[in-house]
Amino acid sequence: MKLPSLMAEEVIKILDKKGFEIKRKKGSHVQLEDYAGRRVTVPLHSGRKIGKGLFRKIMRDAEISREELHRLLEKI
């Protein structure tokens, strides 16, 4: 399965569905945290999509598999 190309707002919605909530916003970055204490930082650059490498890193930090990502994408 290929990783989709997503905007930062869509990534934040996916993380929200996974149980993450915004803990801090500073400048153009949003930091989210889940109940287990995992933290993920998402850059908010308007009009630009998240790069594939950075998106993979965010997915790894949030412990979201590709299959789970596609299930979460269906919900948003």
| Ordered structural domains, the chain, with CATH | 8-75 (3.30.920.30)
Across the chain, mean pLDDT equals 92
pLDDT of residue 12: 95
User: Looking at the predicted structure, is the pLDDT value of residue 1 above 80?
Assistant: no
CA dihedral 67→13→11→73, nearest 10 degrees, is 30
The predicted pLDDT at position 3 comes to 84
Q: How confident is the model at residue 40 (pLDDT cuts 50, 70, 90)?
A: very high
Average pLDDT over every residue of 26-34: 95
Q: Is the distance from CB of 68 to CB of 2 less than 8 angstroms?
A: no
